[in-house]
Amino acid sequence: MYAWEVVEQVLDLRNAGQNFSAISRITGVSRYAARSWSNGNMPSSANWPRRDACAICRQSPEQLPAGPYSYLLGLYLGDGCISERPRGVYQLRITCCTAYPSLMDECEMAMTEVLPNRVCRVVRVGCTELSSGSKHWICHFPQHGRGRKHLRRIELVDWQLGIVDRFPAPFLRGLIHSDGCRVLNWVNGTPYPRYHFSNASADIRALFGYACDLLGVDWRPNNARNLSVARRDSVKKLDEFVGPKR
């Protein structure tokens, strides 16, 4: 039986963005147990405090797993939507290209780490929709609203900006995994890698630029909807945590 202080340490390390291998090395807790606790499957003890599944409702956004949430926020802004279901349940849906199974696995893991609910996959023509139902998805993504994102204002609230400020890399990774790509630009027979990001929403494009600025990544607009990262040092920075989709 683990003491509550150990469980709390595991959850705090996960919220700080540590992976399960690092948490296991630091605390001595198995990766299986750390993952289980992070997904809400807490060890039973009458004397332990209960943690609400929704940190936002408890006005404790600092208890969110910030790294996974930042990544999922990027995916949601690009290829995600929330729809209302009966009995006050909201369905978060992220559409991923079926050609990238690793990306789909990473998306599913982020969804379950932010809210530990079952994720369903629906295969469609050329894409796979990952969905999860909860009454609290609308709390986690206050950008939800009627109509397409590019036809309405998209702004991050203070606690979301705080997470992006601390974890801009996973946020950019999520944006590029949803609406971006890494390509090779051939010049005189020599390939030069670059990144492209395309979104119809000026607000979401501005958030992409904001996260790039936090990391010192040089970016520029190509046209009305497309941004690019082409400078060698900036491409190298993105390659450290994005790279080609898989």
Taking only the tens of pLDDT, the chain with its 246 residues reads 566 667 777 877 776 678 888 888 888 888 888 888 777 666 655 344 444 458 888 788 888 999 999 999 999 999 999 998 877 889 999 999 999 999 999 999 999 999 888 888 989 888 999 999 888 999 999 999 888 898 999 999 999 999 999 999 999 999 999 999 999 988 888 899 999 999 999 999 999 999 999 999 999 999 989 999 999 999 999 999 999 999
- Beta-bridge partners for 186: 191
How far is residue 139's CA from residue 10's CA, in Å, rounded to a whole number?
A: 24
CB atoms under 10 Å from CB of 177, counted, come to 26
Give the pLDDT score at 76: 97
Angle between helices 168-179 and 158-166 (to 10 degrees): 100
Give the pLDDT score at 43: 63
Q: Are 71 and 110 in contact (CB under 8 A)?
A: yes
Predicted TM-score (pTM) of this structure: 0.78
Supply 172's token pair.
């950019």
Give the pLDDT score at 44: 57
Boundaries of every domain in the chain: 4-51, 62-153
Topology at the third CATH level for domain 62-153? Endonuclease I-creI (3.10.28)
